[in-house]
Structure formats: structure tokens, C-alpha cells
């Protein structure tokens, strides 16, 4: 059975410092008055237009195996392949910041307002990442197993060898269209500021792996290192 919850904006809005760090500015003192005003304007638009919501459902390993196989386009070996069979619990999820904020970003770029568009785009992306972290925290609270080294992490189609076409089966199971998320022909989610994936819970050791898969050489973020 699936569940739907709405996030409070204040729970997922990124810290000001984090937003500027994304633009390569390490300290707020270094930000000009003009850019500070731009940030304030973007936050105002973000609060007015974002409606963050998630749909999620527990799933058995057997059913997840079929979803993860997707259309057969995954890399031969992936982190998820290695991790999910050892999991205690699996939860499929899809979340979105909503249609209005994504459309507003597109409009700003079309109108050549790149400064406000980029700031809003950045804030919405960081908020979607925070919403994923919130899901990880909520799943951790729900778990019956409160061992110290217990860890719940999200993995998404389109990353780390899980081909983006994996969205097809994930959507067939979870029906994110119930909260307004659809897939286009390239398996990209509409609205754009959306994230889907699986939350895998188990002792933290299972999330540790050597990041030497065939696709890792092309990875710019190496974000797995922060999470392990």
C-alpha cells in the first residue's frame, strides 16, 4: 500500500550558506548586496511556488529485483545489486517540489532572467535533495531496529549504473502520477524538480563498497564517498 505525505517548506529549505557554496562562494561575507537581494527574491518565489510532496511504498526484495532489472539496461555490476539483497527493508519513493516551481524556473530562463532562474533552480534542487534526506530520517524513525550503526540511504535510477529507463517499472509499481509526477519518453520526470528511488535500510556496513565500477570514472560528484 502506498502513502502520501507533504513536506513543510521550512523542513527542507536549504541553508543560505549551502546555496552560496553551490555557486562556489565559500562565505556569505563575500556575497555582494545585489546577490543577497537576488537570493531573498528567489527564496520568496520558492516559498510561494513550491508544494513538496512524496509518495512511497514498502516493497519486497523479490518485487524490487524485478523493478531494478527494469528494461535490462543497467550496468553489469552496480552498488544497488550488491546492497539490496542484504537489506532489512526497502521503500520505493517518488517526490516532487511541484509543478509550479519547475515551470517558474523554465519561464525565468525563457525570459533570459538567468540570475533569478539559476538561483531558484539551485534552491529547488537542494530542497529536493533535503526532501530525500528527510525521507531517510523518517524511515529511520519508523524502523523497529534502532541499532547504532543502522543506516537508511536512497539510490535512484539514472545514477551509479541503475539505468534511467528503470523509472518505467518503478512508476508502474508506485504510480507517482497520483502526486502529479509523470515520465516523458526519455524517462525524465515531469516536473523536473522531482526525485525517485529506493530507500535501503540495513546496518551501515552494507552501504560500503569500492567505487571502482565501470561507470565511476565518468562520475564528477563521487557522492557515494560522503554517504559511506
Binding site for ligand SF4 (CB under 6 A): 79, 160, 211, 213, 215-216, 219, 222-224
Min separation Cβ 158 and ligand SF4, Å: 11
Which is nearer to ligand SF4, 7 or 159 (by Cβ)? 159
Which is nearer to ligand SF4, 140 or 216 (by Cβ)? 216
Extract the C-alpha cell encoding 18.
Answer: 549551502
Min separation Cβ 181 and ligand SF4, Å: 23
Nearest alpha carbon to residue 228 among 151, 158, 161:
151
Min separation Cβ 75 and ligand SF4, Å: 9
Query: Cα separation of 144 and 146, whole Å?
Result: 6
Extract the C-alpha cell encoding 13.
Answer: 529549505
Main-chain dihedrals φ then ψ at residue 212, nearest 5 degrees: -125, 35
Query: Cα separation of 218 and 214, whole Å?
Result: 9
Which is nearer to ligand SF4, 47 or 227 (by Cβ)? 227
Min separation Cβ 67 and ligand SF4, Å: 19
Min separation Cβ 76 and ligand SF4, Å: 14
Which is nearer to ligand SF4, 65 or 211 (by Cβ)? 211
Name the pairing type of β-strands 150-155 and 182-183: unpaired
Min separation Cβ 70 and ligand SF4, Å: 17
24 close to 35: Cβ distance less than 8 angstroms: no
Which is nearer to ligand SF4, 27 or 222 (by Cβ)? 222
| Cα 132 off chain centre by | 5
Which is nearer to ligand SF4, 79 or 98 (by Cβ)? 79
Amino acid at each position: 500500500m502506498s502513502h502520501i505525505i507533504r513536506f513543510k517548506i521550512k523542513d527542507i529549505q536549504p541553508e543560505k550558506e549551502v546555496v552560496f557554496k553551490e555557486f562556489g562562494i565559500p562565505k556569505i561575507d563575500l556575497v555582494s548586496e545585489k546577490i543577497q537581494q537576488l537570493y531573498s527574491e528567489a527564496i520568496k518565489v520558492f516559498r510561494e511556488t513550491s508544494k513538496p510532496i512524496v509518495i512511497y511504498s514498502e516493497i519486497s526484495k523479490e518485487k524490487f529485483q524485478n523493478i531494478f532489472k527494469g528494461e535490462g539496461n543497467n550496468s553489469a555490476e552496480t552498488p544497488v545489486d550488491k546492497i539490496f539483497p542484504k537489506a532489512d527493508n526497502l521503500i520505493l519513493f517518488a517526490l516532487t517540489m511541484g509543478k509550479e516551481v519547475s515551470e517558474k524556473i523554465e519561464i525565468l530562463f525563457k525570459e533570459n532572467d538567468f540570475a533569478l532562474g539559476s538561483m531558484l533552480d539551485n534552491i529547488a534542487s537542494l530542497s529536493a535533495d533535503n526532501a530525500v534526506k528527510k525521507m531517510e530520517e523518517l524511515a529511520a524513525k519508523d524502523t523497529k531496529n534502532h541499532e547504532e550503526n543502522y543506516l537508511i540511504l536512497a539510490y535512484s535510477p539514472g545514477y551509479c549504473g541503475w539505468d534511467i529507463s528503470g523509472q518505467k517499472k518503478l512508476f508502474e509499481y508506485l504510480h507517482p502520477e497520483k502526486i502529479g509526477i509523470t515520465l516523458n519518453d526519455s524517462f525524465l520526470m515531469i516536473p523536473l524538480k522531482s526525485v525517485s528511488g529506493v530507500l535501503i535500510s540495513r546496518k551501515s556496513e552494507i552501504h560500503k563498497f569500492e567505487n571502482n565500477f565501470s561507470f565511476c570514472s565518468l562520475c564528477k560528484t563521487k557522492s557515494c564517498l560522503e554517504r559511506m
